[in-house]
Amino acid sequence: MTQPDVIVVGAGILGASAAFHLAERGYRVVVLERGAPNREGSGTTAGNLHIQAIHTRRPGQEVPVDSARLLPLQLRASDHWSRIEEQLGADVELRRGGGFMVAETAAQEQELREKHEWERHAGIPTEVLTGDEARERLPLLSDRVRAASWCPLDGYANPLLITPAYLAAARRHGAELHPFTPVTDIRRVGDDYKVLSGDRSWTAPVVVNTAGPWITEISALAGIHIRMSPVAIQMHVTTRVPPMMHHLVQHIGEGMSVKQVSAGNLLIGGGWPAAGLDMAGRSTVSLPSMAGNLAQAGRILPFLGGLRLLRMWAGPLAATPDEMPVIGEVPGHPGFFVAGGTYAFTLAPVWGDTLCRRIAGEPPADPVDDLGPGRLLYDDATTPVSP
Ligand SMILES: Cc1cc2nc3c(=O)[nH]c(=O)nc-3n(C[C@H](O)[C@H](O)[C@H](O)COP(=O)(O)OP(=O)(O)OC[C@H]3O[C@@H](n4cnc5c(N)ncnc54)[C@H](O)[C@@H]3O)c2cc1C
């Protein structure tokens, strides 16, 4: 390729989505990936499409997500996911069987009703059901379920298929992918950025930093200090069983998500913390988190107690200090874009489209100025800068 228009750093789902949207519009795109594509957060994710508001905190999460703010973006994501298989020409095991969010206490039921109002406002179809009504639709739910909200748009996709599908489609449109190519330096040369990997380099007027938990590290190479709060969380998977459940089941008060994937395995997660975040290699799982997550899931869906656990794993997540996504151009650094943070799997199609529009100088489909990286900038390793 002659000089690219855009250099994307990181081949997780966000880098892959950005590369696809840009290449489809005719931009010459180079994607640089430190290791194998889709190995980090995007390859270890639960892969849920969160269309109704989550409104819960991960165990240990200090700051709540501003759920109401994200709803228009989740609705936009729902539209994108509806056409994604056709758009990419690939089966990504997309399942849109809808989802329940359950409440066990009166306070949690009240939260369901509150979020239902936000969802109604945002145009997201949800209904609040009594426990009995929910059990009529999903008899596997236990008597502990006092109420549940139902959203027909919730779903999931196979994380091992979607990022490769984005990358394959991007390459069909001319994008270049360089796996095992860690970015080691970024220099400003005139109006361009020169991005180095050892003794190789690429130069372009635009850099898209989609390095997930390494957003801080990659930005710092360009002299930009972005505060992130990466964490590692874990997932559990049972052996395969015949089809029993077509819905996503979540909990309003506690981090919990359960679903049966196409292969028949039940996937259980909810943001429970791993034993440790290892930025250099593999994060390690926590047995107390496993016990907590499985006990909670078994309380809501007792049939899980009869299944065998096959495997568990931990993956890194690019959380921000305010738990909101980050998307946009870095103030004072024209052409340097960042995308990451909350629900990056669900929002990946929206962020790819948003980055593309921004780079093309067009307004995004939804306003996102309040989610820009300016709010996370600081002068050096210690001093926050006001946005
Ligand atoms: C266990 C778990 C469950 C989750 N569940 C959900 C869910 O159900 N729904 C949802 O919406 N979200 C969920 N998330 C969050 C979401 O899946 C991730 O945040 C998202 O996949 C991250 O995508 P990304 O492209 O931003 O980052 P990543 O997938 O982490 O990709 C970043 C890439 O940058 C590369 N990189 C790093 N340094 C360099 C360098 N120097 N040079 C080149 N490349 C570099 C990395 O190798 C990596 O491939 C979950 C996350 C985890 C871990």
> Which residues, 6 or more positions from 206, have their beta carbon under 8 angstroms from its beta carbon?
5, 6, 7, 193, 335, 336, 337, 359
Query: What six digits make up the tokens of 170?
Result: 């991007």
Atom of ligand 1 nearest to the CA of 218: 41
Residue 381's pLDDT band, with cuts at 50, 70 and 90, is: low
Q: Is 287 exposed, middle or buried (0-12, 13-18, 19+ CB in 10 A)?
A: exposed
What is the mean pLDDT of the segment spanning 48-67?
85
In this model, does residue 387 exceed pLDDT 50? Answer: no
> Which residues, 6 or more positions from 179, have their beta carbon under 8 angstroms from its beta carbon?
11, 33, 35, 36, 37
Which pLDDT belongs to residue 60? 75
Report pTM: 0.96
Q: Do 325 and 274 touch, CB atoms closer than 8 A?
A: no
Atom of ligand 1 nearest to the CA of 315: 53
In this model, does residue 267 exceed pLDDT 90? Answer: yes
Q: What is the average pLDDT score of the chain?
A: 95
Element spanning 374, H or E? none
Residue 386's pLDDT band, with cuts at 50, 70 and 90, is: very low
What is the mean pLDDT of the segment spanning 154-180?
98
In this model, does residue 385 exceed pLDDT 50? Answer: no
Ligand 1 centre and the CA of 317: distance in Å? 6
Residue closest via CA to ligand 1's atom 39 equals 34
Q: How many CB atoms neighbour CB 72 within 10 A?
A: 17
Question: How are strands ordered across the β-sheet holding 192-197?
Answer: 185-189, 192-197, 200-204
Query: What six digits make up the tokens of 20?
Result: 């696809």
pLDDT in tens, 321-360: 999 999 999 999 999 999 999 999 999 999 999 999 999 9
Element spanning 22, H or E? helix 13-24
Atom of ligand 1 nearest to the CA of 234: 1
**Cα Dmax for the chain:** 66
pLDDT in tens, 296-313: 999 999 999 999 999 999
> Which residues, 6 or more positions from 322, have their beta carbon under 8 angstroms from its beta carbon?
63, 375
Q: Considering only residues 346 and 384, tell me which one the structure prediction assigns the higher pLDDT.
A: 346
Ligand 1 centre and the CA of 271: distance in Å? 14
SS (H, E, C) 227-274: CCCCEEEEEEEEEECCCCCCCEEEECCCCCEEEECCCCEEEEECCCEC
In this model, does residue 383 exceed pLDDT 60? Answer: no
Ligand 1 centre and the CA of 341: distance in Å? 9
Which pLDDT belongs to residue 382? 54
Ligand 1 centre and the CA of 214: distance in Å? 9
Q: How many CB atoms neighbour CB 109 within 10 A?
A: 21
Contacts from 239-242 at CB under 8 Å and sequence distance 24+? Answer: 239/265, 239/307, 239/308, 239/309, 239/310, 240/264, 240/265, 241/265, 241/266, 241/307
Q: Do 99 and 148 touch, CB atoms closer than 8 A?
A: no
Q: Do 254 and 296 touch, CB atoms closer than 8 A?
A: yes
Contact residues of ligand 1, CB 6 A cut-off: 9-15, 32-35, 39-42, 44-48, 50, 182-183, 210-214, 218, 233, 235, 269, 315-318, 340, 343-346
Percent of the chain exceeding pLDDT 70 equals 97
Within a 13 Å sphere around the CA of 36, how many CA atoms are in the beta-carbon half?
6
In this model, does residue 384 exceed pLDDT 50? Answer: no
Query: What six digits make up the tokens of 329?
Result: 């151009």
Atom of ligand 1 nearest to the CA of 314: 1
Residue 79's pLDDT band, with cuts at 50, 70 and 90, is: very high
